[in-house]
Structures are given as structure tokens and as C-alpha cells.
Structure 1
Amino acid sequence: MRNNKNQKSQWQPATMTIHGGKQPDQHGALVAPLYQTATFAFNTTAEGSARFAGEESGYIYSRLGNPTTNELEARVAQLEGFPAGAACATGMGAVSAAMLAFLQQGDHVVVADAIYGCSFALFSHLFKKFGIEVEFVDMTDAENVRGAMRDNTKMVFIETPANPHLKIIDIAAVAAIAHERQARVIVDNTFMTPLLQQPRKQGADLVIHSATKFLNGHGDVVAGLICGSAEDIEMIKSTTLKDMGATMSPHDAWLILRGLKTLDVRMERHCQNAVKVAEYLVQQPFVRDVYFPGLPDHPAQRLMGTQMHGSGAVIAFELHGDSQDAQRLLDYLELITIAVSLGDAETLIQHPASMTHSPYSAEARARAGISETLIRIAVGLEAADDIINDLAQAFAKTFVIDNTKEQQQGETVSYG
């Protein structure tokens, strides 16, 4: 028998990205068909009634389920080691649907202090409107999570590596504390992908992705995914996802299915390039700090081989200088694109304090360590030397300006 379950259980992740969750097509199509339809026809009224009542399996309406999106859900869930998945219109749709399906007024949520800016806005602003309490803590020390837990704590939300400066959280340590109080643990695994980190093995109850990023890999889709138990995913699909409507389009699902086939080879190149770029940045005198899990002195090293199986392709670095220096550096780049995403073929760079993390207040940014001179670069698939050369010419132009300015003031500045 072809593609039997026993064989699938032995496949490596690289094989799963291509074959996992694949559904046989009645016409033998190699590529998953795109079911670009809003609704599905019933043969009889009785058949339609039975499907709505849950008495008969089958499709009704693409917001409630579609063969193309269902294949994507199955494939990503298998990669994450979960039995089920839910496809969402955006990454933020995934965060919202996963959280709100299990929360109500009076509940308490513990959230990592450094997360994506729109996730921060959701938790700090919108949740407050619905009477859900949120506490932001530095989870690099798991004991801070223990100190934040309450009797009404229902969920713990983690990003690791954290956006934007790659703080690392020990998922297993945090999950153990959360589960003592019967709280669910949700991990945003966007930066790592299931190939480099599988949070379920560390105790996560739900894993989310902005599928816009590495899973798709081509910058032409906005989408999100949630992976979890069959029961939890059914709860999400039948409540927040169905009724709030943040469901993925079949066409977007089809594009991500196509992107998944090259995820393994893309991640290998992304990671190789990122190591070279990080090693270059460390050597630059105008760079104060480099945050990258692949560097030997990064705290992630203690979790390599257990929680993490690679460094990823996102780097953050702090400049010697001020916010104007950071902005000038970005503006002088010629190959690298100023854009707020990651996981694309193109290398993308951005200024978190004024872009992705602008929803933070100045005080919240300071607590999370997001300074005005912090820059985030998502390393792409170009030749690494071309990426580095572009950074080098931008650094030279940026700090020649500063050198000239300070020499006019009677000081001599040397950058080596």
C-alpha cells in the first residue's frame, strides 16, 4: 500500500514537507488541486441538512472547510507533531482565534514581554476591553512565570526566539510551571518553523505560525496556522474561527502548499547565510551588540540539540550611535530591502522601534529592550557575500557622515 501510516511515521521532516498530509486526487493529480470555490453543492436537501447537523461528513462552505485548506492544515500539523490544524487568514488571525476560543471575562493571561508589536497591541489593548487581564513578564527566567501565575490564569503565550531581538525562552520549563496550574501554553513558532523547533515536544498545547513567513517563503501570501489537539482545534474552528471569520482562502492555502515543498532547502540556505552575516556583524566596530542564536555566546546555545535544531535566519543588532544613524544605515542599503516581514527569498531589514513594535509605548519598549538603535534583519536566499557587501557599503556611508561631523567638532574618530 502506498503512503501508509506506518511509512509516514518514519519519514524525515524534509520528506514530510513534500508528502505529509497529501490527499489522493480522484484524477491522479500530482499537485494538490485548488478548490477555488466559496460554496459546495448538495445532491439533495436531506444531504445538506445532514451536513449542517454534523450527521454526515462533507463540505458546506469554504469558511467552514475546504479540501485545499484542509490539506495544508494536515501537512503543517504533522510537521509540528500535532493531530490537527486550523488555517487562518493572517498570523494575527491565528493568535486571536487560538486565544479567544479559550478565554472569557475575568481570565488572566501571562505573556512574554518581548513579542510582535501587533500581538502586544492585542493583549494590552483589546483584551483589556473584554475584561481579560494580561501580565507581561521576562520569561528568560522561568521562575518569573511562576511568580505571575494566579488561580484565574488560563493561558501562557510565548514567542521564542522573541521578536525582535531573539530572546530565548525554555519552553519545557515554562510549560511545566503553566501545567501545574492547568493553564494552556501557546508558542508562536514563526521564526523557527517546525524544521528547527517543535514546541509540542517541549510541552506546548498549541503552536501558531504566521504562514506569511517561512512556511510560504515567497512574500505573496498573508496567512496563519494553528496546530493542536483534535479537541482544541475543533473548539477553535467551531467558535472563533467560524464566527469571527478569519479563515484562509483556498488560493492562499494552495500557494503555501507549494511553498512548503521547498521549506527544507530554503531553511538550510537561510540559516547558512544568517551565520555568515552574523559573523560579519560581530566584527564591525560600529555594532555594539549582535543578537543571533547561532553565535557561540548566545543563551540559545544551551537549548541547541534539545529545544532548537538550528539558529534560524533572523538577526538583530544594536548600533553605536542614535536613531538617525539607524535610519541612515537602512536608507543607504541598495540590495537589502526595507520591509517588515521575514522568510522571503529577499533579505529584509527594518527598524523595530518605529515599525513593527511601534504599538509599544516607549516605556514598554524600554522594558522589552527594544531601543532606538536596534535593527532587525531577516536574511534571505541571495549570495551571502552580496548581502554582506551591501551592509558594508551602507555602514561606510553612515559612519563617514558621523566621522565628518565629529571631526568638525575637533575630535578624531576611527572605525578601523
Structure 2
Amino acid sequence: MKVKERFLKYVAIETTSDPTSETCPSSAKQRVLGDALVAEMQAIGISNVTMDKNGYIYGELPAKNCDGLGPKVAFLAHMDTSPDFSGKDVKARVVEAYDGSDIVLNEAEGIVMSPKKFESLEKYIGQDLIVTDGTTLLGADDKAGVAEIMTMAECLLNDPDAVHGPIKIAFTPDEEIGRGADLFDLGQLKADFGYTVDGGEIGEIEFENFNAASAIVTINGSNIHPGYAKLKMKNALLIGMAFHEMLPVFENPAYTEGYEGFSHLNDFEGNVEKAVMRYIIRDHDMAKFEIKKARFERIAAYLNAEYGEGTIVLDLKDSYYNMREKVAPHMHMIDVAAEAMHTQGVTPIVVPIRGGTDGSRLSFMGLPCPNLCTGGHNFHGKFEYIPVQSMTKTVSILIEIAKRYAAMPSEA
């Protein structure tokens, strides 16, 4: 099966993760895709395929046409899609031989994707773009990675002349809500190192990511009839607004890029009596990351002094850390990926991840795990798209990486 057909099949299955759920996976629908993947993996000949009780899928390809003494390399992707935008009833379509003009995603709703706003489209004139109908996200993050790994595996299994060492495969739930590595079983995987296939533009190689934390700010107010509220009402919404206004204006993600961190208000809900604000805090630099977290604590303490202890309840938790320190001792992984890309006519783009990945958590758990491109753009929204040719190139890159490690010693 070609990577395009696989991808279109996978995105039709809703797998939105649920941050309010305490189960793993957080949404039962992730298991629907999981079951389909297990059946497909077994059908194409992947060995030792299992899906555990938490929805994690593992499989392997034994070494082929070599002594198998080289390193055991893993390729990983996640099955869930972001809860930031609907992933239900995805109706993907292919814009063949894109001509560089505006793409009408949904005529009835007037939803248009234009290269004037999304300049990346200009790189793909003449290529085939998979797009949404403007009402859902696409799901290339990360079903493109799943499809590319599956297609790599099928190609290697079907090619009698393929040369590769032991290859491990894993698909995880709940990456989009920061839990993708929570219950990952490294003992089950049995790999020396791995690559998550969860990046963007073709050519991307990422081994630096944000240090990340979440902050839930609960504001306890006191409601009373506004006609009799003088010196009695404590408006949780207004106090929440005051909290936010004490954060630096230009540490908003709308003003940051590259290595610049941010504090992002992702959700604000409530009423006069009680309000809840949910933030994510990000920075590549650990010292700056700690400063950002400390600022939240100082603001909470200040407002509690002003409005009374217990007005602000701050729940501040670290999510993951910059994987650079764990990948740096294994820079052969970056070199091999770059060399593999060159063989396929792809220019490597080494960039910091302005986000997170399972690879970060896995690196700190003992599995060095940089991130590779899928080829997708504009993740988590209705303007998400992916060129078919980028997916095909990614499959070839993964095959080349597997081939190169077959000739390397296990302590590489």
C-alpha cells in the first residue's frame, strides 16, 4: 500500500485525545486506530506485534541480510490528534499538481488557504497536496508519521535485497496532551535509540525542544447582586485579567520565534464566583524557564496579598525538558539522518522544536530520541496540509537510515 492511501485511511478515524480524561488512552477512539494498526502490522509481516492495556503498540523487524549485531533502532509516532481543533469526520482531499493559486477548502463557508498568508505553499507548486475541507484539522500530526513508518516497514519486508539491522516500531497514544511517554515500556521496546517521526517540513531534524510546564490558575471570587456589591463583590474574572496583565506582553507566542520562549493563555473560563485560566510555559533555556515559572508564583502571591489568601490557587507542573543534553552524546543520530536526507535529494534543516514531542520524555527515560520530519504544515488547524511527495521522500529517508545503521557497531 502506498503512503498516501495509508494516510487517507488513518485520518478518517477520529483519535482526538482528551485532556480532561484520567484514562490511558484518554479517548477510547484511539484504540480503534490501534486495533486497525495491529491487524495491518500482522498482515504485512511485522513481528511480535502487541498493543498493551494502555494502548501502546510495539512491533519489530528482525535484521535482514546482515549479522544483526548493529544497534537496535526504533521509529516512533503518535496516534492521537490535538484537541485544539476538531478531528471528527475528517474529509481529506488531494489537490493534484498544485498550481500556486488560492485553495478553496470550503466554498460554502468561504474558507480559503492562500499562499499570500501561507507562504510555504509556494514551495510545492506542481506537487500533490492533501488538505482538509475547512471544518477539521487533517491529522498529519502525527498520522503522517504513522503512515510513513508503516510504509517503510512494508517496503523493507517486501524487498528481498533490503539490508537492515534490528528495527523496533512503536505507536503511542496521548502525545498531544503531554502524556505520550507516561506509560511507555522501554523494556518492551528493547531499542538502543530511536527517532520520533513527528516533525514538519520535509528535511527537518530536531534535537532541541522547549522545557515545558503547565500552569492552572484558579481564581476564587465572591459573587453578590451587583446592585449591592460595593466593597463586597470579588470578581474572579477581573482578578484573572489582572493576573494576565502582569505577564510580559512580548512573551506572548504571537511575538516569539526561534529560541524565544513564551507564556501562553490557552483557556480562560468561569464567572464572577470562580474562574480558571490554563497556561503553558515554554523556553529552550532552563534558566529562563525557571524565571518564567517563578514569575507565576510571584504574581499569585501578590494577588493573594491584595485580595486575601486563597483567592489565587496556582497548580504549576513541569511537563518535559529540552532533550539536547540527552541527544548530544549520540550525535551520530543527527549525522546519519542528515546523510540519509542527502541521498534522497533533501536538504537537512536542523531547527529547534517550538513545541514538544514524545522524544523529549523518552530521551530522559533513557532512549535518546531526536525528531524527524513528516512533511506536514500548519498542524492543529483547518489549514493543515501535507504534500504527497514529502511523505514519499520521508519513507525513503527512513529506509536509508535503517540501511546505514546495519553497517554500524552496536556502540555507535
TM-score, normalized by the shorter chain, greater than 0.5: no
Whose helix proportion is higher, 1 or 2? 1
Report the TM-score when normalising by structure 1: 0.28
Whose strand proportion is higher, 1 or 2? 2
Q: Which has the higher contact order (CA 8 A, sep 6+)?
A: 2
Report the TM-score when normalising by structure 2: 0.28
